């Protein structure tokens, strides 16, 4: 069995720059948590990404509310925030909360109060561009892209997720991203998974936990992603419901990665000991069969999705 000491996988092309910045944390310092913090905060700070952190589209009242989570697969501790306002790095707060055994999942005013009291940077998260889009399009934009990342160092796995959620959502709406088992799950003895897509659809099941359970039952990580996703979609279809876009990333305890999507194509970023230069890959869904390829120059220049 091939054992990969260092590996990292992330949703969407927007993760590429942050993954490059996380190189030293992962490969030199052997610190998966630092790598996740570096890479996810890079996405949170970038105003060009409108579904995560600063520059994210606001809720129906014009206020950016963020959700984030972090889970350590060695200790099984997790931290999460939901409906967090005016704090620059939601993932940093979730990481700190993961060190607690009580009060590790905070929402709304309480989450903000905790962040302010513990010295996390306050910030107006609404960019001019997001504000303008809110004024012009608040009834029409529905898609969104959550940043999810899983990292493995020499001693275990962790995962982190951050999002500003559905554009123009009802104030207080929370998606799957801070919900353990649904938006993310991590167990270093087995593997880790995380979801991006319409949170209401993801939360009708425990998709991330399902992926990890299938790995535990002996499935390879790619098959586990596909099985979890398509069993979930089938179950919803049986219930008379057609789910929207959902994509999953996963990593097993050996550092091997899997991806599944119900979209036509879903880009993600990977790096590991053999391929330490983070690269974008595309998972193409052809009638339920996943085809994964490294993104070429033409694809990279034409992609407008995130």
The answer to whether 44 contacts ligand GLY (rule: CB under 6 A) is no
CB of 246 to ligand GLY, least distance (A): 9
Shortest CA distance to 183 belongs to which of 241, 248, 232?
Answer: 248
Binding range to ligand GLY, per CB under 6 A, among 57-65, 111-119, 134-142, 194-202:
194-202
Binding range to ligand GLY, per CB under 6 A, among 3-11, 86-94, 128-136, 193-201:
193-201
Angle at 196 between CA 193 and CA 197, to 5 degrees: 140
CB-count burial class (<10 Å; 0-12, 13-18, 19+) for 293: exposed
Placement of tokens 């790598």 in the chain: 35
The answer to whether 11 contacts ligand GLY (rule: CB under 6 A) is no
| Catalytic residue check, 238 | no
Alpha-carbon span 250 to 278, nearest angstrom = 16
The answer to whether 182 contacts ligand GLY (rule: CB under 6 A) is no
Which of 160, 197, 255, 267 binds ligand GLY (CB under 6 A)? It is 197
3-state secondary structure of 194: strand
Count the residues of the shown chain that bind ligand GLY, applying the rule CB under 6 A. 11
Q: How many CB atoms lie within 10 A of CB 219?
A: 18
Look at strands 105-107 and 78-84 and give their pairing.
parallel
Alpha-carbon span 143 to 166, nearest angstrom = 7
- Which CB sits closer to ligand GLY, 7 or 249? 249
* Catalytic pick among 146, 163, 196, 261: 146
CB of 177 to ligand GLY, least distance (A): 5
Binding range to ligand GLY, per CB under 6 A, among 81-89, 98-106, 195-203, 290-298:
195-203
**Looking at the annotation, which residues are catalytic?**
146
Binding site for ligand GLY (CB under 6 A): 146, 163, 165-166, 175-177, 196-199
């Amino acid at each position: 069995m091939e054992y990969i000491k260092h590996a990292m996988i992330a949703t969407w092309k927007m993760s590429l720059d942050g993954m490059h910045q996380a190189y030293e944390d992962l490969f030199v310092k052997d610190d998966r948590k630092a790598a996740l913090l570096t890479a996810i905060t890079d996405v949170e700070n970038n105003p060009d990404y409108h579904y995560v952190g600063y520059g994210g589209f606001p809720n129906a009242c014009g206020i950016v509310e963020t959700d984030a989570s972090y889970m350590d697969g060695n200790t099984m501790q997790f931290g999460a925030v939901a409906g967090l306002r005016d704090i620059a790095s939601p993932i940093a707060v979730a990481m700190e909360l993961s060190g607690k055994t009580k009060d590790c999942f905070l929402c709304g005013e309480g989450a903000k109060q905790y962040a302010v009291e513990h010295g996390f940077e306050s910030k107006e998260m609404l960019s001019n561009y997001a504000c303008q889009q809110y004024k012009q399009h608040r009834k029409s934009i529905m898609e969104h892209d959550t940043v999810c990342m899983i990292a493995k160092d020499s001693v275990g796995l962790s995962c982190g997720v951050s999002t500003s959620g559905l554009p123009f959502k009802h104030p207080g709406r929370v998606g799957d991203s801070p919900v353990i088992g649904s938006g993310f799950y991590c167990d270093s003895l087995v593997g880790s998974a995380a979801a991006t897509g319409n949170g209401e659809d993801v939360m009708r099941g425990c998709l991330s936990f399902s992926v990890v359970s299938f790995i535990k039952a002996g499935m390879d990580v790619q098959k586990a992603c596909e099985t979890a996703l398509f069993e979930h979609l089938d179950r919803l279809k049986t219930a008379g419901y057609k789910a929207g876009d959902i994509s999953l990333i996963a990593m097993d305890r050996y550092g091997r990665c899997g991806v599944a999507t119900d979209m036509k194509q879903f880009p993600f970023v990977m790096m590991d000991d053999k391929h330490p230069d983070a690269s974008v890959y595309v998972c193409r869904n052809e009638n339920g069969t996943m085809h994964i390829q490294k993104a070429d120059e033409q694809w990279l220049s034409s992609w407008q999705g995130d």
